[in-house]
Amino acid sequence: MGDDFDERNVRIVVADGVITHIEEIDRVPDQWIVPGFFNAHTHLGDTVAMDVDAAGSIGDLVAPPDGLKHRILRASSPRLCVEAMAASIRTMAQTGTWGFADFREGGIPGVEYLQQANTDCSLDAVIFGRDGGESVGAGLGVSSSRHYGEELTKIIERARADGKQIAFHAGEKDSRDVDAALAFDPDMLVHCTHVTPAQIRRIADAGIPVVICPRSNWRLGVTSSNQNPPVHAMLEAGVELWLGTDNVMFVQPDMAAEMAFCHYVYHIDAPTILKMATGGAQIVDRNYSLIKDHDARFTRYNMARSNAGFSKNILNTIITRLNSISMEGSLLNCYLK
Ligand SMILES: [Zn+2]
């Protein structure tokens, strides 16, 4: 319950999508009520390139403008792109995710295709566009300061003037693009797989949340050690960390799998991991925690359907074993369909 995720026996009453009552009760059914997850970094567009046979550096695979994913995206019809993104959004909903923040390629049409793809499920969405797409999205997603020249200042000034949020990929393969990103006082940084202690201090002091994407980092070979991203140093410095699954091309947008990986590899405790998996909802001005008068953004799991009912530590089981086998229901439109 609440922001601390302590386990309680309760009945939750929802009216018009809002939690109106939370009552403590003695006897509860074999059901766990888990706050919805917020996937704080996705590239849903590259669902069309899922698990393509590819080898190469991160630049060859995903860097704009001519990395493999961008070539596949250009060769895919708008209809296929929308269908593929809608399928990934359904997959997210069916694995307990209620919202996402996406870096969308393809300029204005790219952002509009994603808005279209999200109409069925209507997850809480923040779309960071680029190449003009920021004008119709909620924000500007900068692929990396190293991909831009002097024009970046103007692009960011224009986006800020239009009231857009600014997010940067930074510190993915090394720490050399982090200071340039920090100079623009962004609303969010993505990756920080490689950041120096001085950069961590600056990020903490500026109160900038950092989205880490551990499975993507390992898949793309930008880390081979649990020292990167330096999650414990960031947490100790007071940096707010959120979790994201990054490119659908390589990694399934399933927050339960991301939480489990993060726990095993980085040894982060369960309450902190749950905070990281839900906290990103702040960018849509929401709090997914189970709190009276909050919008109902939770999922019910029937533990009798799996072995999880034998758990002696519910929080640890949630972050390591949750899956859709035991999913009972959600208030999400596309889950009910
Ligand atoms: Zn990314």
- CATH, residue 10: 2.30.40
What does the pLDDT read at residue 337?
53
Please state whether the peptide bond connecting residue 65 to the residue before it is cis, i.e. omega within 30 degrees of 0.
yes
pLDDT higher than threshold 90 for residue 13: yes
Distance of CA 223 to the CA centre of its chain: 19
Half-sphere exposure of 88 (CA within 13 A, CB side): 30
CB 165, CB 188: distance < 8 Å: yes
The pair of structure tokens assigned to 290 is: 């189970």
Rounded to the nearest angstrom, the gap between the alpha carbon of residue 194 and the centroid of all alpha carbons in its chain is: 19
Pair 198, 255 in one domain: yes
List residues bridging with 241 in a β-sheet.
210
| Residues 225, 119 within the same domain | yes
For residue 79, the CA-to-ligand 1 centroid distance in Å is: 23
Tokens, residue 309? 């009912």
* 69 Cα to the center of ligand 1, angstroms: 12
Neighbours of 292 (CB within 10 A): 13
Ligand 1 centre to CA of 169 (Å) is 6
Using the 3D structure, point to which of 284, 300, 327 is the last residue of a domain. Answer: 284
User: What's the CA-to-centroid distance between 172 and ligand 1, angstroms?
Assistant: 9
**Which amino acid is residue 200, in one-letter code?**
I
Q: Write out the two tokens for 191.
A: 């990756």
Kind of pairing between the strands at 97-103 and 37-43: parallel
252 shares a domain with 214:
yes
pLDDT tens readout for residues 90-117:
999 999 999 999 999 999 999 999 999 9
Q: Ligand 1 center to residue 158 CA distance, Å?
A: 22
Q: Which two tokens stand for residue 38?
A: 């917020």
Query: Which position has the token pair 């034998």?
Result: 310
Token pair for residue 156?
Answer: 């960011």
Residues 207, 81 within the same domain? yes
Q: Half-sphere exposure (CA, 13 Å, Cβ side) for 2?
A: 4
Distance 168 CA to ligand 1 centre (A): 9
Q: Which residue has the higher pLDDT, 303 or 195?
A: 195
Confidence check: pLDDT of 333 > 70: no
Mean pLDDT of the chain: 93
Q: Could you give the CA distance from residue 266 to residue 273 in angstroms, rounded to a whole number?
A: 10
For residue 43, how far is its CA from the centre of ligand 1 (angstroms)? 6
Distance of CA 114 from the midpoint of ligand 1 (Å): 16
The CATH number of residue 274's host domain is 3.20.20.140
In this prediction, residue 60 carries a pLDDT of 81
Mark whether 166 and 213 lie in a shared domain: yes
Same domain, 21 and 102: no
Residue 216 CA to ligand 1 center (angstroms) comes to 9
Q: Kindly give the distance from the C-alpha atom of residue 89 to the centroid of ligand 1, in angstroms, as a whole number.
A: 17
C-alpha to C-alpha distances, 105 to 22, 134, 287, 308, nearest whole angstrom: 42, 10, 28, 39
- pTM across the whole model: 0.95
Gyration radius of the chain over CA positions:
19
What's the domain count of the chain? 2
Instruction: Based on the fold, state whether residues 215 and 136 are members of the same structural domain.
Output: yes
What mean pLDDT is predicted for residues 27-40? 92
Tens of pLDDT, residue by residue over 187-210, are 999 999 999 999 999 999 999 999
Same domain? 31 vs 44: no
Domain's final residue, options 243, 260, 284: 284
Q: From ligand 1's centre to the CA of 30, what distance in Å? A: 38
Residue 244 C-alpha to ligand 1 middle, in angstroms? Answer: 9
Question: How far apart are the CA of 91 and the centre of ligand 1, in A?
Answer: 19
- The side-by-side arrangement of strands in the sheet containing 298-302 is 31-35, 298-302, 327-330
Q: Quickly count helices (H) and strands (E) in the chain.
A: 13, 14
* 238 & 110 share domain: yes
Measured CA to CA, the distance from residue 123 to residue 34 in angstroms comes to: 17
Q: Looking at the structure, do residues 249 and 267 belong to the same domain, yes or no?
A: yes
Evaluate if residue 88 carries a pLDDT over 80.
yes
| Statement to judge: residues 11 and 42 lie in one domain | no
Q: How far is the CA of 258 from the centre of ligand 1 (A)?
A: 15
Q: How far apart are the CA of 246 and the centre of ligand 1, in A?
A: 5
User: Are residues 31 and 50 part of one domain?
Assistant: no
C-alpha 218 – ligand 1 centre gap (Å): 13
- Cis ω on the peptide bond leading into residue 35 (within 30° of 0)? no
Per cent of the chain over pLDDT 90 is: 78
Exposed e or buried b for every residue in 108-147, given b needs 16+ CB within 10 A? eebbbbbeebbeebebbbbbbbbbbbbebbbbbbbbbbbe
Q: Determine the structural domain holding residue 327 and report its residue range.
A: 2-35+288-336
